[in-house]
Amino acid sequence: MKRKYIIIFLLFLILTWSLFPILWGLRTSLLDEDLLRSKDLNLIPGRINLENYSLLLGFNDNDQSMSRNFKNALINSFVACGGATIIVILVSSIAGYVFSKINFFGNNIIFGLVIATMTLPAYAVMIPLYKIIINIGLLDTYTGIILIYSSAFIPLGLWLMRSHFNTIPDELEEAAMIAGASRFKSFLTILPLVTPGIISVAILTFLNTWSQFVIPLVFAPNQAKPLTVLITEYVGKHSINYGLMSSAGMLTIIPPLIVVIFLNRYLISGLTAGAVKG
């Protein structure tokens, strides 16, 4: 019984530690400017101020520039994350099938080399990658940032999809091929059986790309900048608009929060299925 209470207490501490920054950001986004600059702690706002949200969402007719910039950055985030997620799913599904079901010379070596790229820090390849993107004319474009995101998360997707394809008995594929199905047709036949893996790859890719900051700051600083980069623009040379910055941050976490709340069980089932059976 004592151990149970200790575990509950530790979980409460972890939960508090995790939620405190979010709750503090929410509090800051709802405070008036004068209260933000006040020395009083004001843990709970006495009066809720939605002016910052009004500016960002376009409900303030006097200033539409902030709303326009926020909406453009929101679109950029969805396009970049959505495009990268689709590419990662397609490539990792096909490659995962190949590495799992087709025996060829150097299979494990090539797979190991691809997976090893996950250990490389992003900063180690930042300069050469920057030169490549500039030379091919993809700096600050959707295509450029999508390709960078995709190349970064395909190894993780490949690892997960290969694990899920390993759980599929070879007899199913052999039966399809005996019935006259081509290699690609047999791939399509067993693809629905690894749906949990596909969902896991999609969720992980979306969440990881959505939260990226350094990569879009370097490769998409203007026209294709996402929300994570836009938030930094509220930090001026001589002042910081904490209220606007916190409001933008609260709005930015809504999409990944929705994904985690409604698709969390699919992520867990997908990861455990591949790990246990693979």
pLDDT of residue 93: 95
Span 2-39, pLDDT tens digits: 788 888 889 999 998 988 888 888 888 888 776 666 66
Average pLDDT rounded to a whole number, residues 65-92 = 95
Q: What is the chain's mean pLDDT, rounded?
A: 87
pLDDT of residue 185: 87
pLDDT of residue 33: 73
Q: Which helix (H) or strand (E) holds 173?
A: helix 170-178
* HSE of 170, CA atoms in CB hemisphere, 13 A: 5
- Residue 212: other Cβ atoms inside 10 A: 23
Q: What is the rounded CA–CA span in Å between residue 227 and residue 225?
A: 7
pLDDT of residue 131: 95
Q: What is the rounded CA–CA span in Å between residue 150 and residue 205?
A: 9
Q: What is the rounded CA–CA span in Å between residue 30 and residue 52?
A: 8
CA dist list (Å): 244 to 79, 216, 241: 24, 21, 6
Given pLDDT bands bounded at 50, 70 and 90, which one contains residue 64?
Answer: confident
CA 144 from centre of chain: 17
Average pLDDT rounded to a whole number, residues 211-215 = 93
Over its C-alpha atoms, the chain yields an Rg (Å, rounded) of 23
Structure tokens of 227?
Answer: 């929300």
Q: List beta partners, residue 235.
A: 240
Most distant CA atoms of the chain, gap in Å: 77
Average pLDDT rounded to a whole number, residues 57-65 = 77
CA 23 from centre of chain: 21
Structure tokens of 76?
Answer: 């950029």
Residue 63 has pLDDT above 80, yes or no: no
Average pLDDT rounded to a whole number, residues 75-94 = 97
Residue 275 has pLDDT above 60, yes or no: no
CA dist list (Å): 271 to 114, 173, 193, 200, 232: 20, 23, 14, 7, 34
| Report field, pTM of the whole predicted structure over 0.85 | yes
Given pLDDT bands bounded at 50, 70 and 90, which one contains residue 230?
Answer: very high
134 vs 235, residue with greater confidence? 134
Q: List beta partners, residue 240.
A: 235
pLDDT of residue 1: 66
Amino acid at 73: A
User: Of 97, 81, 92, whose CA–CA distance to 201 is shortest?
Assistant: 92
- Which of 43-52, 204-213, 253-262 is predicted with the least confidence, judged by mean pLDDT? 43-52
CA dist list (Å): 48 to 26, 53, 149, 155: 11, 11, 38, 46
* CATH architecture for segment(s) 74-274: Orthogonal Bundle (1.10)
- Nearest-5° Cα angle at 123, 120 to 124: 55
Structure tokens of 132?
Answer: 């490549």
Q: What is the rounded CA–CA span in Å between residue 184 and residue 173?
A: 11
Share of the chain above pLDDT 70, in %: 92
Residue 258 has pLDDT above 60, yes or no: yes
Is residue 205 within 8 Å of residue 84, measured between CB atoms? Answer: yes
Residue 134 has pLDDT above 90, yes or no: yes
